[in-house]
Homo-oligomer: A and B are copies of this chain.
Amino acid sequence: MKNIVIYDSTLRDGAQSQGISFTVSDKIKIVELLDDFGVDYIEAGNPGSNPKDMEFFDIIKRKSLKNSKLIAFGSTRRANTPVEKDANVSSLLLAETEYVAVFGKSWDFHVSEILRTTLDENLNMIYDTINYLKNRGKKVVFDAEHFYDGFVENPDYALKTLQVAYDAGADSICLCDTKGGMFPTEIYDITKKVVDKFDCEIGIHAHNDNGMAVANSIMAVEAGAIQVQGTINGYGERCGNANLCTILPNLQFKKGIKCVEDDKMRELTVLSRRVSEIANAAPDERAPYVGRNAFAHKAGMHSDAVCKNTRSYEIIDPELVGNERVLLLSEVAGRSALIGIVNEVDPTIDRDSDKTKEILDKLKEMESKGYKYEGAEGSLKLLILKTLGLYKPSFRLIEFKVIVNEPSVDDVNSSALIKIEVDGQEEITAAEGDGPVNALDKAVRKALERFYPEVKEMKLTDYKVRVLDSNSATAAKVRVIIESSDGNEVWSTIGVSTDIIDASWIALVDSIEYKLNKK
């Protein structure tokens, strides 16, 4: 039985993070990940305030989801404006979602000082908006913004805002600690009062400005809240929202409150990392449960203890969330994780063989140079093939020369000349492109087509750059990750260099070699 409702706001409140900006196609990828994981609600955007979000809803409405309900988010009508004339409210309808979330003010201070309207008009705004949406067949979540701060200063008014939402037919009421300054006992006490008073689904929406968003969400659940709002990796403005990647295992494995299927929970670490890749945000290595260090044991005594009994220093088995134990001082580090991939290449190699050690050493050497094979499994497989002596390069680069001109000539600013050799035969060719990497990419495929017609089947589908050690400014190392597809399979490859062209070239070669080595 399912006891809790998970409400993800990565695409709405999470998108308010500084430095995060999702494209429409990023958003669609994240919806697919969340739906597959089994989140109940996906608050996917604010169609009224953001034209990109409207475009997203137009595309997503044509897709069907397996597990999740999409939610369009917007505010109550403006003061002194009839609800049917409010552009924001209308755009909520245009999103054509079954569910909508409407936020309204529950703190009298915000009504008077920020909205600058009367307390009564604010109540009307809440009532009218929800009532209007209910009459149009929507399921409505009411987000009571600043509810807790409001309750502390004027409990009667804060509760009145909930009452009108309830009377207007809200299907659920979510209590927001919008400033993120509440303490756990306050959250518990206030939530309890609301749960005792209203018989609809009560939710919690916590922010992390005092570092207690996770604890506050848990306390609200202990007080009877059923809906938990948060974001993947805790993205959100200022200090972020409550982190679902922490809350879900806390509830499921420590409190016995089921959030998603156990086998889906095993994908939590991957989900966290995929979303951070899409957001182009460095993953938090210290993140509870899903961080790279969450189960890393450094001190000799701790490692020893974990080898005797993992319960000694681990709050759960890392496999439950798809993470892994890392024994930092020990030679066995990482073998378990690696062996699975090694066995795809050669099923006869076991964990303790010399070959595994050799691969592990090579991997460590590459990682010290800035390589990271998580998210670049194509390159990892090639590295394994190379270390095992099973790799046969399909071509040899003799030289390339990339030229970038400013001003551009006939709208083309980059061109690449390339000379390669395949089985003693040379080929020289050239191509123009949108930037130097694009020119180089086109040139190398053109040169190879004569020898390997199958390179026509593949295309690059994603290209990401991250600057490592960015303090070295334009001489810093960059890590390029390329994703390619041939329709049947998608693979990722990596290159690292102080020169972005060189890093891109390394990743491009791996991408092509992966395809050609599949045969």
Contacts and interface: CB of A to CB of B under 8 A. Distances in A.
Contact of A293 (B21, B239, B288, B291): B239
Copies, count: 2
A112 B35 CA distance: 45
Interface of A: 16-19, 21, 23, 25, 49-50, 52, 109-110, 113-114, 178-181, 183-185, 208-212, 214-216, 218-219, 222, 234, 237-240, 243, 246-247, 249-250, 254-255, 280, 282, 284-289, 291, 293-300, 302, 304-305, 308-309, 311-316, 328, 331-332, 372, 374-375, 397, 399-407, 413-414, 433-438, 440-441, 459-476, 478, 482-483, 497-502, 504-505
Contacts of A18: 285, 293, 296, 298, 328, 374-375
Given A399-B406, A434-B499, A464 B470 contact: yes
B313 A179 contact: yes
A222 B502 contact: no
Contacts of A109: 309, 311-312
B332 A49 contact: yes
13 contacts: A17-B298, A18-B328, A23-B469, A109-B312, A113-B309, A114-B309, A184-B215, A210-B288, A239-B286, A240-B286, A400-B406, A435-B498, A465-B466
A405 to B, nearest CB: 6
Nearest to A280: B466
Name the residue in A311, A374, A399 with the highest tally of chain B Cβ atoms < 10 Å from its Cβ.
A311
Point out which of A21, A23, A238 has the most chain B C-beta atoms below 10 A from its C-beta.
A238
Given A25-B471, A299-B237, A469-B23, A406 B502 contact: yes
B475 A482 contact: no
Given A18-B375, A185-B222, A463-B474, A294 B403 contact: no
Nearest to A293: B18
A296 B238 contact: yes
Given A288-B208, A288-B239, A471 B462 contact: yes
